[in-house]
A and B are shown apart, each in its own frame.
With several copies, the nearest count.
Chain A
Amino acid sequence: MAVTTYIEAISRGMREELERDPTVFLMGEDIGEYGGAFRATKGLQRDFGAQRVIDTPLSEAAIIGAAVGAAIVGMRPVVEMQFADFVTCGFNQLVTNAAKTHYRWGIPVPMVVRLPSGGYIHGGPYHSANPESWFFHVPGLKIVAPSTPVDARGLLKAAVRDNNPVLFLEYKYLYRRVKEDIPDGDGVVPIGRAAIRRQGKDITLISYGSVLTLALEVADQLARDEGIDAEVIDLRSLMPLDAEALLRSVRSTGKVLIVHEDNLTGGVGAEIAAMISEHAFQWLDAPVRRLGALDTPVPFAAPLEDHVLPDREKIAAALRELSSY
């Protein structure tokens, strides 16, 4: 198998689902001939036609709302936000229609919203969004956030096949930075299951997305250089959360660091920390620590962005602090 980048893996996931199921179609701004701002859909309109890879007007609410409509009558739309930031314009459609329809009507809403997320690319306050926390709180939505090409393809396919609205967070920072062999076969990665990326006995480090890749590097380095042996868990799915996998690890390490790129307060890490603090109370040897971006918009200039977002140094410092607690 050829080495595949993260974005190629997403692309391939879409292609395979378009081939497999005629009810699957794509919709979004500039996704047709152009192949999307990041070229994730490149070649797909050519191969599947303008009926199944649809260029839309610049209208996020209509895109998401139309996906809901198509989904409730049996189609499986996969829509792209050009940047995750712009999902705020379609927010109402997601929380009012997509999330609440199955509960009210008993009708499945199989749709995927692709969200090119995150910072570390000097995009500034409007091209660096980590939108998960808003939707994490909304019953009826699922959220996945792959950090590897294999998971990106596999979770994309699982999302397409899921009968619920799934937000697919894909990381611009990872698009062309991470590569791996993708084995043949269906490769669906089930939604709701975390993966242990590094076994360890001292600290449970929970993370996802871009910053997971940084955390993993740091964990390796600290194990090598300082004997701090962290178990690194990649959440992969944020909703549903694989609570059992987290608790299992915590029961063996007794210490937890949660790292997310999104700003700290009210982030997904708050729920995880609350959950672990409650359900692993007697196993904890130290307070559950969280590391996230500072509670600011993501600034534009590099030194500012560097200061605001979590980075290797901050992760290392947090691990050291916990280790010596």
Chain B
Amino acid sequence: MTHGVDIASIPGAGTIPGTREGEPPVPGRLTPGDKIALYYYLCLARACDEAILKLYRQGKIVGGAYTGRGNEATAVGSAYALEKHDYLLPMHRDLGAHLVKGQSLRNIFLQQLGRAESLTRGRDGTGHYADPALRIYGNVSHLGSMIPVGVGIALAAAMRNENAVVLNYIGDGGSNVGDFHEGMNMAGVMKLPFVLILENNQYAYSTPVAKQTAAARFSDRAAGYGVPGITIDGTDVFTVYDTCRMAYDRARRGEGPTLIETVSMRMHGHSASDDASYVPPAQLEEWEKKDPIARCEDRLRREEILSDELKQEIHVRIETEIADASRYAEEAPHPEGSEGAKGVYAD
């Protein structure tokens, strides 16, 4: 119990709020409860990533394992500023966004392990699922390909006056694919409620940003679509939250898309099988100082929202939740082979 906040006091009968019905707080006005929630999700995303890595190392994950270490503030902050009826189209390092938008840990692990009751019934892995009830539409491997899809969802939302926003992400590498250009330009000219977060984490697989583009900042691309572009610190969850909230408001006012470049560092290899030996150690050390969780914790401590006790409580909770979900998924049955033949076409 610190400064009037404890975990039990958080709205939602013991559950920590994520994306909510109605407007989230205006920039700069997050309640202590919100801040704890943000902290919780940052830690949860990282812990979940770690658990996935552990499964990978145990040989239980057959495909690749991609973590969001270093990117948690971007994923969590951006999703926390959404409303329940908004659409989320996350990329492969945005686990935090899935969780904030309401995805259960069990479904996350079921996807990783390709089990029969996973959201894709084992047909696809990782974040490549959709959950229409939560308005989450996952990614495909083909980088950039989901941008036009997100734009189409935004078009539908606008046609139906849903007052909803579509949030999509792309990497510094993926942003060089043609679909980025076509999608952003179409969203711009149609003034659609579409927000694209360009996660500049310094590397695309082994390729540093300097070999991807000569642009000084990726946000410089926004002007070419008549869209506001901004570059922000992607390791500070509060900056991300505030910026996104403003972009969503703008979108809801019918003023069109925003391109937000979040600058951070991919702290792990591209996937679990990549030791990232091409990254200079000094670069990682430098960025370690801007660890999203540590930065959030610092602030919460300074604001006397987070005590050792509460921190402990949160981490115990996370550990339990993850252990439960991961165990559940590991015990869940694999799909029947013959299921693979079904469902190519809708009726």
Interface residues in chain A, defined as those with a beta carbon under 8 Å from any beta carbon in chain B:
25, 29-30, 33-34, 37, 51, 54-75, 77, 82-83, 85-86, 88-89, 92-93, 96-97, 100, 102-110, 122-127, 139-140, 142, 163-164, 294-297, 299-308
Closest to B152 in A: A69
Can you offer 16 A-B residue contacts whose CB atoms are under 8 A?
A34-B207, A54-B155, A58-B143, A65-B152, A69-B155, A72-B149, A88-B142, A89-B142, A104-B123, A124-B125, A126-B124, A126-B140, A126-B141, A296-B344, A302-B334, A304-B123
Task: Check if B6 is an interface residue, CB within 8 A of chain A.
Answer: no
Determine the distance from Cα of A308 to Cα of B143 in the docked complex, in whole angstroms. 26
Segment at the interface with A among B45-53, B173-181, B254-262, B323-331? B173-181
**Is B132's CB under 8 angstroms from A107's CB?**
yes
Determine the distance from Cα of A300 to Cα of B124 in the docked complex, in whole angstroms. 5
**Cross-chain contact of B334 among A122, A127, A296, A303 (Cβ < 8 A):** A303
**Is A125's CB under 8 angstroms from B123's CB?**
yes
**Is B173's CB under 8 angstroms from A25's CB?**
no
Interface residues in chain B, defined as those with a beta carbon under 8 Å from any beta carbon in chain A:
62-63, 87, 114-115, 119-125, 128-130, 132, 137, 140-157, 159, 173-174, 176-179, 182-183, 185-186, 189-190, 204-207, 211-213, 278, 334-341, 343-347
Determine the distance from Cα of A77 to Cα of B340 in the docked complex, in whole angstroms. 29
Determine the distance from Cα of A108 to Cα of B343 in the docked complex, in whole angstroms. 10
**Cross-chain contact of B185 among A62, A82, A109 (Cβ < 8 A):** A62
**Cross-chain contact of A57 among B186, B278, B339, B346 (Cβ < 8 A):** B186
Determine the distance from Cα of A66 to Cα of B151 in the docked complex, in whole angstroms. 6
Determine the distance from Cα of A56 to Cα of B334 in the docked complex, in whole angstroms. 40
**Is A65's CB under 8 angstroms from B122's CB?**
no
Q: Beyond the given A86-B141, A108-B346, please list 12 additional residue pairs across the A-B interface where CB-CB is below 8 A.
A: A33-B278, A64-B148, A65-B149, A73-B132, A73-B153, A96-B142, A102-B346, A105-B119, A110-B346, A122-B63, A123-B63, A126-B141
**Is B207's CB under 8 angstroms from A29's CB?**
yes
**Is A296's CB under 8 angstroms from B340's CB?**
yes
Q: Which residues of B contact A61 (CB under 8 A)?
A: 148, 178-179, 182
With contacts A64-B148, A140-B344 taken as known, whether A85 is within 8 angstroms of B173 at the C-beta atoms is no
Determine the distance from Cα of A306 to Cα of B150 in the docked complex, in whole angstroms. 33
**Is B148's CB under 8 angstroms from A66's CB?**
yes
